[in-house]
Chains A and B, each alone.
Chain A
Amino acid sequence: MSPKLKRLILFGVAAIFLATAVGLTVSALKENIVYFYTPSEIDTLEIGNRAIRMGGLVQKDSIRIDGLTARFVVEDVNSQQAVIYTGALPDIFRGGQGVIVEGKFNNDTFNADTVMAKHDEQYMPREVADKLKEQGVWQGEATK
């Protein structure tokens, strides 16, 4: 085999492999993206049965705990969404806190698989802060 032919084979194999890898990557990306919405956006959109993330504030006094099942309301200025979650809640989960829930809507209730709140009282998920800023109800920058 001439060196040129060898190089051609090597590049050919690499190109085929790369194309497969790109194909795999793109399809995996398409299937595994989770979109992020606020409660009010959900009212205006057709979410259907897709898995999404929803971020807002936990409505004060909305938390009802029964065994392992927690029901609470995630709100922003214009809208409220009921959430149901079974499992262990994060340490700092209480009314008035920023929270992100991941899961699907079933009728009008959001069935969360994951509830995320940070190990920090002053923490506000960035997505939530941005959305609140957009809606003009941002309470100002929390201190570092």
Chain B
Amino acid sequence: MITEIGHFSLIFAFVLSLCQSLAPIYAARKSIDAIHNVTIRLAILNAIFVLISFSCLVWAFIVSDFSVALVAEHSHSSKPLIYKISGSWGNHEGSLLMWIVILSVFGAGLALTQKTMGLLQKSATLGMQGVISAAFIAFSLFTSNPFERLSVPALNGNGLNPVLQDIGLALHPPTLYVGYVGLSLAFSFAVAGLITNSVDRNWARYMRVWVQIAWCALTLGIGLGSWWAYYELGWGGWWFWDPVENASLMPWLVATALLHSVIVVEQRDLLKSWTVLLAITGFSLSLLGTFIVRSGLLTSVHSFASDPTRGLFILSILIFSIGPPLLLFAIQGPKIKTNGYLHLLSRETGLVINNFLLICASIIVLIGTFYPIALEIATGMKITVGPPYFEATFNPIMALLVIMMGIGPFLVWKRGILPKSNQIWIVAIAGTTVISAISFWASPELSISALAGIATAGWLGITILCDIFVKIQKLNRNSDFWPHILHLQWGMWIAHFGIVIFLVGALGDGIYKTESVARMHIGDKISLGSDSAVLQDISTRNGRNYEALVATLKLSDSDNKQIGMLYPEKRIYPVERQTTTEAAIRQTVTADYYAVLGEGNRADGYTVRLYHKPFVSWIWIGVIMMASGVATSIIIQRLKPKHTQTALTS
């Protein structure tokens, strides 16, 4: 019964989406403004019905209703509750429904907020959102209906892939989807802006917050995914340049460019066509990301549902989402009037460079990800493009970007002049030199690229601190110091400093990590740099829905003083007939110790892998900082009194 309610709500939502997409057109034809209000109501109703539908699916998973095909295939009654719930989006059909939920919630979010926005513009934007929603609900209903019943109910389910039974993975897809789908709203803004010919500073002001929300979620989603890969896959790495990781990185790079270019539109009424193009591209790349994961086109750890027909459906949505908007852009784009004028040495030029580098980087990732497919289609050759390609191309571009990030914030809008006093640059360059010299002195065997990495990270950190110092000093002369200090660009500083922290983690782990592997019997010792570990015991343990083999490793430093105990596990899930590796991680601020128990038996011994990974946890602290920086910026914008808004930022 509940399942049928879910199914019918989804069908109803489909009809509502169609109405939502047609209402603005009808209203414009008949010139009845009141109908635009209908679009807004439809968007809210649509979200309500989609939410009902999704709740029904989650309910079927919670009560383990095995008459529903999806539940029987992906759940099991012995699973802990949290993974029963997360199991509802741990598969193709459910994750698609979640995608639709987020899409319509974003639509309803716009419908319920930004009351000052022009009615026509808002209605047109929601209409576009309705088109996307209708397409995806159709996709769900016709090719991958989550509410399909089995003619004979199953006695119990197949279970969820054990690798997916994990809190990181319960949270990773929803967060990532909020990011992907949030970009749909920027896309709708762009298309609506083109149709109604209203791409201006106001348009940017309304769109900006949605881009920021989407960006935060996308950043956190990618961070969560990488964190999950780090502790769950047991390979000791945190980024593998896997096609699916790349698929999420491309929209992130474009969204980052958009996040910056939309400020230029808001402040200077420049880069308008470019921003529209970025908004369209960002969402298209999100769709491409979904397509890659779903189609099984690329071999990856993530391809949990590969069915060519589904892939084709997304591919056609993708073509329709890129083709017509680009055509529209070709027709309407020239009508966008630019009122400003770009000065060579100004904040806006800095942001143009930022955009240029980010787009270069995403093209590099795009080539590395799709070249193998293109080559296979063209010649039948099967190849892989590995991490060395990305390291040789992506990293230098990013280094340039980081250097520019140190300079850009000092530039002012319009007629830019660099700070008059040379002190800042002296401090920054001297500081960078000292940092590089110290790291070279500490380990002279460092490669040039490693040193360059450390220098750029140091440069960025110091220039941000200088920037904060300069901006606060400028304020000092003002009478009302405290309100103004809160309105400074704290969001940007936190986000940019997050990158410094991230770089410390990435470089620390990349340059200084140590690794050792050995086949060990009980009592054997393995050394790791100056530390060592003794395998004290191998025992078995029964978990809720698995059996585990647990190793006890005692970790000691060079003076034989105990650092801590590590308990890596190997879990066997009888229902799914699978084995997973549970790495043991001893996490501290300065370094992680990471142990993995491999195959083996008592007679021959067990393979044990140990890693020492300096600063690795800073990677995710940095990611959290970046997201909270942008969140801070959203809050500060809301707190600022309207009249000081332009005065302070220009």
Contacts and interface: CB of A to CB of B under 8 A. Distances in A.
A139 to B, nearest CB: 18
Given A33-B384, A53-B384, A125-B299, A24 B519 contact: no
A1 B344 CA distance: 10
A9 interface: yes
Interface in B387-403: 388-389, 392-393, 396-397
Contacts, number: 100
Contact of A88 (B342, B382, B609): B609
B168 interface: no
A7 B371 CA distance: 33
B341 A88 contact: no
A3 B342 CA distance: 8
A127 B298 CA distance: 10
Interface in A115-142: 118-121, 125-127, 130
Contacts of B73: 144
Contact of A28 (B301, B360, B389, B577): B389
A65 B604 contact: yes
B381 interface: yes
B360 A18 contact: yes
A121 B352 CA distance: 50
A84 to B, nearest CB: 15
Given A92-B579, A121-B578, A32 B392 contact: yes
B364 A9 contact: no
B296 interface: yes
B389 A35 contact: no
B384 A10 contact: no
Contact of B383 (A10, A28, A36, A93): A36
A126 B299 contact: yes
A21 B364 contact: yes
Contact of B393 (A9, A28, A65): A28
Interface string A7-46: 1011000100110010011001101111110000000000
Contacts of A25: 364, 367, 393
A104 to B, nearest CB: 14
Nearest to B297: A126
Contacts of B383: 33-36
Given A10-B344, A28-B392, A67-B519, A88 B607 contact: yes
A118 B299 CA distance: 11
Contacts of B388: 28, 31-32
A36 B393 contact: no
Nearest to B161: A120
A119 B73 CA distance: 18
B384 A88 contact: no
Nearest to B368: A29
A4 interface: no
Contacts of B385: 29, 32-34
Interface in A61-114: 65, 67-68, 87-89, 91-93
Contact of A91 (B301, B342, B581): B581
B599 A89 contact: yes
A35 B581 contact: no
Band of interface residues on B: 35 or more
B450 interface: no
Nearest to B581: A91
A89 B598 contact: yes
A120 B305 CA distance: 13
Given A29-B367, A87-B517, A88-B596, A3 B607 contact: no
Q: Which one of B383, B577, B581 has the greatest number of beta carbons of chain A within 10 Å? A: B383
Interface in B537-592: 570, 577-581
A9 B118 CA distance: 39
Contact of B518 (A3, A6, A9, A68): A68
Given A6-B342, A120-B161, A144-B73, A88 B517 contact: yes
A34 B386 contact: yes
Contacts of B389: 28-29, 31-33
Given A25-B393, A29-B368, A119-B580, A93 B599 contact: yes
B512 interface: no
B519 A68 contact: yes
Interface string B310-348: 000000000000000000000000000000011010000
B26 interface: no
Contacts of B604: 65
B360 A21 contact: yes
B163 interface: yes
21 contacts: A6-B342, A9-B344, A10-B349, A14-B356, A24-B393, A31-B388, A31-B392, A33-B385, A35-B381, A35-B383, A36-B382, A68-B517, A87-B517, A88-B609, A89-B598, A89-B599, A119-B161, A121-B577, A126-B299, A127-B299, A130-B382
Give the top 9 A-B pairs by smallest Cβ distance, nearest first: A36-B382, A32-B389, A28-B392, A88-B598, A32-B388, A88-B607, A91-B579, A34-B384, A126-B299
Given A21-B397, A34-B383, A36-B383, 20 more contacts: A7-B342, A10-B344, A17-B356, A18-B360, A24-B392, A25-B367, A29-B385, A31-B388, A33-B384, A33-B389, A34-B386, A36-B382, A53-B384, A88-B599, A89-B598, A91-B579, A119-B301, A121-B578, A125-B299, A144-B305
